[in-house]
Amino acid sequence: MTNIKGKNIVLGITGSIAAYKAAEIIRVLKDRGARVFPVMTKSARHFVHPLTFQSICQEKVLLNLFEDKDESLKHISLSRLADALVIAPATANIIGKIASGIADDILTTTVLATRAPVVIAPAMNEWMYQNPLVQANIAKLKSLGYRFIGPEEGKLACGDEGRGRMSEPGAIVDFLEDVLLCKNDLKGKSFLITAGPTREPLDRVRFISNYSSGKMGFAIAKEAKERGARVILIAGPTWIEPPPGIKLYRVETANQMLEKVREHFRQVDGLIMASAVSDFRPLFVHKGKIKKEGKEKITLEFVKNPDILEEVAKIKGDKIVVGFCAETENLLEEARKKLSCKNMNLVVANDLTEEGAGFGVDTNKVTIMDAQGKLTHLPLMSKYEVAREILNHVKILF
250 strand-pairing partners: 235
User: Cβ distance 217 to 274 under 8 Å?
Assistant: yes
Q: Residue 320: helix, strand or coil by DSSP?
A: strand
The backbone torsions φ and ψ at residue 152, rounded to the nearest 5 degrees and listed phi first, read -105, 165
SS3 labels along 140-184:
HHHHCCCEECCCEEEECCCCCEEEEECCCHHHHHHHHHHHHHHHC
Of the candidates 29, 24, 20, the one whose C-alpha atom is nearest the C-alpha of residue 176 is 29
- Cα–Cα distance, 272 to 268 (Å, whole number): 11
Determine the 3-state secondary structure of 333 from DSSP: helix
Helical H segments across the chain, by residue range: 22-31, 50-57, 74-81, 92-99, 106-113, 126-130, 132-143, 169-183, 215-226, 254-264, 308-313, 331-341, 383-397
| Catalytic-role residue among 158, 182, 325, 341 | 158
Residues pairing with 284 in the sheet: none
How many CA atoms does the CB half-sphere of 99 hold within 13 Å? 20
Residue 111, phi then psi, degrees to nearest 5:
-60, -45
d(CA 19, CA 129): 17
* Residue 158: active-site member: yes
Compute the CA torsion angle 172, 174, 178, 184 (nearest 10 deg): 100
| DSSP per-residue codes, 9-69 | EEEEE-SSGGGGGHHHHHHHHHHTT-EEEEEE-TGGGGTS-HHHHHHHH-SPPB-SSSBTT
Nearest residue to 14 (alpha-carbon basis) of 96, 132, 115 = 96
Among all residues, which ones are annotated catalytic? 158
